């Protein structure tokens, strides 16, 4: 029997033609419901996000190991393996995810990996994909752009816990600059207040941005880089220091960890763009909507792909405008090309 003193048990009684009693066991791992003729056990699911920079001599072997492990646990998601380490997002039953964490940490280089838990399930991913890549993040860096040892990226920015970010701002005020390490479209729905948002459509655009003179005025300020889970800033902060930024930091665990600590009651505002079926994540029930519909200017956090297949850029389109097929395009220049097909 599942009932135990370890669980809080809540009863629901629904009166109708037939009386049915529902029993729900509240637990971090499962709940179940019982009716007159049935009992259903539902395993609760989560999503894990993680990365670890550490030298890997044989990425192909690690790929095969990770794919076999994930398939045995019925997980879905995406994992990248490179000579620099491991980067993954996987969803599944909580118990299976715990087994995955335990098994992954048995690899010597991954024993200190920090795993971040997020709401979601395996259904947020179409399949389990494990691939080998030259880079964990596709900046198209040269092979000597940065180095990795067992402690991570060599020469990266100083890690700050969310609390330390606030302490830095309180102490230095306007001398602290937030620098968005994501692609530009992600900042349209959520960012740190007054953050610098580089003009980047893809990760490959960052080197040219940093090597331009756009940011010369902040190179001697305290620059706090941030990104979704922290992995991009491990590299970006090292790239910035190499290009003359003198005092660079990164938020430990990225926006995800900051949101867990402060929700929407700190320095972050808006929604977080994520790259699975959820599309966006909010940190509270009072998240501010800062995105604007490309057509009517109304507030929205809803992204749609441009209807022109050759464009396919992500567009902010509110739910009302989304109902009009003629408005499912990126720019005015895209619409005539759609109509002409």
Catalytic residue among 227, 233, 321, 334: 227
Determine the pLDDT at residue 21: 38
Tell me, yes or no, whether 251 and 296 share the same domain: no
Determine the pLDDT at residue 27: 41
State CA 161 to chain mean position distance: 17
pLDDT, one tens digit per residue, over 273-301 is 988 888 899 999 999 999 999 999 999 99
Residue ranges of the chain with per-residue pLDDT less than 50: 1-34, 36, 40-41, 337-338, 340-341
- 230 lies in which domain range? 149-273
Would you say 49 and 116 are in contact if contact means Cβ atoms under 8 Å apart?
yes
Determine the pLDDT at residue 18: 36
0.75 cut: is pTM over it?
yes
Tell me, yes or no, whether 232 and 169 share the same domain: yes
Active site residue 311: no
Would you say 226 and 258 are in contact if contact means Cβ atoms under 8 Å apart?
yes
Number of domains in the chain: 4
User: What CATH number should be reported for the domain holding residue 196?
Assistant: 3.40.250.10
Tell me, yes or no, whether 266 and 298 share the same domain: no
Tell me, yes or no, whether 194 and 239 share the same domain: yes
Determine the pLDDT at residue 332: 77
Determine the pLDDT at residue 330: 74
In a domain, 279, yes or no: no
Q: Where are the alpha helices (DSSP H) in 263-330?
A: 319-322
pLDDT, one tens digit per residue, over 126-178 is 999 999 999 898 787 767 788 999 999 999 999 999 999 999 999 999 999 99
Q: In sequence order, what are the residues at sequence separation of 6 or more whose Cβ sits closer than 8 angstroms to the Cβ of residue 27?
A: 6, 7, 44
Determine the pLDDT at residue 277: 82
Nearest to 300 by CA among 153, 165, 188, 197: 188
Nearest to 255 by CA among 176, 165, 150, 327: 165
Radius of gyration, alpha carbons of the chain: 23
Nearest to 44 by CA among 117, 129, 126: 117
């Amino acid at each position: 029997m599942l009932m135990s003193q370890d669980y809080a048990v809540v009863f629901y009684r629904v009166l109708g033609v037939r009386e049915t009693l529902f029993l729900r066991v509240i637990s971090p791992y499962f709940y179940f419901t019982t009716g007159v003729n049935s009992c259903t056990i539902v395993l609760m699911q989560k999503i894990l996000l993680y990365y670890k920079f550490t030298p890997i001599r044989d990425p192909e072997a690690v790929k095969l190991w990770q794919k076999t492990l994930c398939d045995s646990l019925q997980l879905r998601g995406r994992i990248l393996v490179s000579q620099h380490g491991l980067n993954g997002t996987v969803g599944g039953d909580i118990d299976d995810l715990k087994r995955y964490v335990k098994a992954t940490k048995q690899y010597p280089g991954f024993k200190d990996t920090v795993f971040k838990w997020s709401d979601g399930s395996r259904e947020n991913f179409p399949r389990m994909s494990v691939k080998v890549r030259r880079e964990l993040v596709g900046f198209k860096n040269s092979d000597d752009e940065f180095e990795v040892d067992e402690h991570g990226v060599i020469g990266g920015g100083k890690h700050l816990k969310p609390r330390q970010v606030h302490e830095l701002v309180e102490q230095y005020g306007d001398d602290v600059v937030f620098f968005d390490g994501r692609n530009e479209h992600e900042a349209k729905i959520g960012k740190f207040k007054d953050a610098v948002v580089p003009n980047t459509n893809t990760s490959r655009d960052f080197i040219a941005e940093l090597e331009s003179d756009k940011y010369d005025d902040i190179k001697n300020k305290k620059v706090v880089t941030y990104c979704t889970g922290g992995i991009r800033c491990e590299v970006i902060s090292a790239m910035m220091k190499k290009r003359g930024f003198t005092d660079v930091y990164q938020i430990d665990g990225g926006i995800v960890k900051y949101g867990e600590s402060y929700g929407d009651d700190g320095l972050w505002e808006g929604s977080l763009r994520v790259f699975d079926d959820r599309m966006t994540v909010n940190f509270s029930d009072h998240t501010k909507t800062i995105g604007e519909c490309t057509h009517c200017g109304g507030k929205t956090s809803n992204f749609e792909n441009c209807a022109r297949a050759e464009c396919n850029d992500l567009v902010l389109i509110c739910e009302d405008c989304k109902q009009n097929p003629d408005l499912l395009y990126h720019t005015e220049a895209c619409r005539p090309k759609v109509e002409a097909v």
